[in-house]
Chain A
Amino acid sequence: MRLIVLLICIVMLGGCEREERQLRLDPPIASALDEVKLMPNGISGAPPEVYFALNRPYETNAYNLDQGKRLYSWFGCSTCHADGQGGIGPSFLDGWWYYGPEMVSIFASIRDGRPHGMPAFRDKMTTDEIWQLAGYIQTLGAYSAKTAAPSRNDDKQSRPAENRAPAAILFDQGPTPVHPDQGPTP
């Protein structure tokens, strides 16, 4: 009896933060979240203190990841990146991150844009939306599935769902070439 309770508690305590739905972000926190410190080359860096204070909600919280997925389609990411396998823009699933898989890098890519056609979304999305989207994109390209990752869409299927780590299934030997001068090469 007590064993069951204990077991359920252990399994679930890990899960409870993933499920909380923070529906409204206070504007001061939102603006603090905008203060990411990037390395000079725009790759890697440190998220603001408040991000850790909030317990990295955009990487582990199911609701945020799900919202990120919604934003991916609403903001037309699939025009260039398709379902994550790339097209005009680079793929997220080929195992290669031009700017590294860190949240700050992805956040910066979305907010500020990147060379060779990635537009800046600074004026199109709010800060927390950018974080949500970044969290989703990181999940999409992760090699091991997150427990809180969203699942498949009610659409035509072109790749396994995010909760099954499509990047691990579809990992290529090299990056899908888009711009040879961009990022590291194998």
Chain B
Amino acid sequence: MIAAVKRLSFLPALLPLAGCGGWQSAMDVHGTSAISLKQLIILVVATCSVVWMLVMIALIRALTRSHASRLTPTVVDRGMARRMAIAVIVAVAATVMVITGFTVGSFFSTRALSAAGADDLTIKVSGLQWWWNVQYFGATPDQNFVTANEIHIPVGRTIRFQLEGDDVIHSFWVPSLAGKQDLIPGRPNELSVRAERAGMYRGQCAEFCGLQHAHMAFFVIAESQAEFDKWADAQRRPATQPTDAEAAAGQQIFLSKPCAACHAVRGTKATGTSAPDLTHVGSRKYIGAGLFETTRGSLAAWIADPQTLKPGNNMPLVPLSREELLSVSAYLASLK
């Protein structure tokens, strides 16, 4: 226990590493559909603000205008009542018009959401407690590959995400690129996304999915077609064999300890499927579904005590010595 605490002591140093803000925001938009959604949001919010102000002006006026005293409350001025009736009818008619405008506007933006093209890139995303499994499809089945919690997409191309819930309901949401869509067991969904600008966009599960709903983030990295192709080629290849002695020792430990029973590292005997594929884990920006930036230190911290960092997740605490921990983290960090 004390050893575990000691191992954790370098954690605070990791926290400020990821600096850039506003990368998961419906107001900071870089995807085709998110851009039009933002326009809609601004239009609707502005209209509603005007409506609210008008109501408040009427209310304040009603309260502050000079009132005749009302000794006999039941006596009502008929002329006043008629004028008020006209005012109320006009106000209701205005409400109906605003509402109709919103409904029509909403209908057309809804239709725009579901447009799909022919050369769309299809990516299958499965939501699991509490990480994302991402499958890319190549021209042939051997070109397919799997990764986790990080999705690379080419800029300017429509991506069709096939969304499948494998355990409970999750929701796929990258606010800077598009609205959300649920992943529901037994009901596959689709979501079309197009990034207009290169960048790294954070997404997060938006449907309550159990203990670690809060730590179920992922990243979408939009890059040029050339960079994307380069990345995809690298991802297709099996894992690199360790070159230095420490990483080689780490590989041995990884394969002989419980790690390999759940995780897969293509090109080795590790073929587990119940946990994220680690073939190129070193190349990913984050580990633990957006928990920490990938460094050797964060990998070591994560392996040393996953249940303190992300309580309730499915990674067990595997007892490792200090040396074992160092070499395993060296090995994983080397899996670029």
Contact = CB atoms under 8 A, between A and B. Distances in A.
Q: Do A and B contact each other directly (Cβ–Cβ < 8 Å)?
A: yes
Interface of A: 21, 23-28, 30-31, 70, 74-75, 123-126, 128-129, 154
Contacts of A23: 211, 307, 311-312
Contacts of A21: 312
A75 B4 contact: no
Contacts of B307: 23-24
A28 B312 contact: no
Interface in B244-277: 256-258, 260-262, 274
Interface string B305-336: 10110011010111100000000000000000
Q: Which of B256, B261, B305, B307 has the most chain A CB atoms closer than 10 A to its own CB?
A: B261
Contacts of B318: 126
B13 interface: no
The main secondary structure of chain B at its interface with chain A is loop
7 contacts: A21-B312, A23-B311, A26-B1, A74-B274, A125-B258, A125-B261, A126-B317
Q: Which of B1, B307, B316, B318 has the most chain A CB atoms closer than 10 A to its own CB?
A: B316
Interface in B274-308: 274, 305, 307-308
Contacts of A31: 319
A126 B316 contact: yes
A131 to B, nearest CB: 11
B185 interface: yes
Interface residues of B, number: 21
Nearest to B3: A27
Interface string B4-19: 1000000000000000
Given A24-B307, A26-B1, A154-B185, A123 B257 contact: yes
A74 B262 contact: yes
Given A74-B262, A154-B185, A27 B1 contact: yes
Nearest to A70: B314
Contacts of B261: 75, 124-125
A27 B319 contact: yes
A23 B311 CA distance: 6
Question: What 5 A-B pairs have minimum CB-CB distances, sorted nearest first?
Answer: A24-B307, A124-B261, A74-B274, A126-B316, A23-B311
A185 to B, nearest CB: 34
A75 B274 CA distance: 9
Contacts of B258: 123-126, 129
A26 B258 CA distance: 17
Given A123-B256, A154-B185, A129 B312 contact: no
Contacts of A74: 262, 274
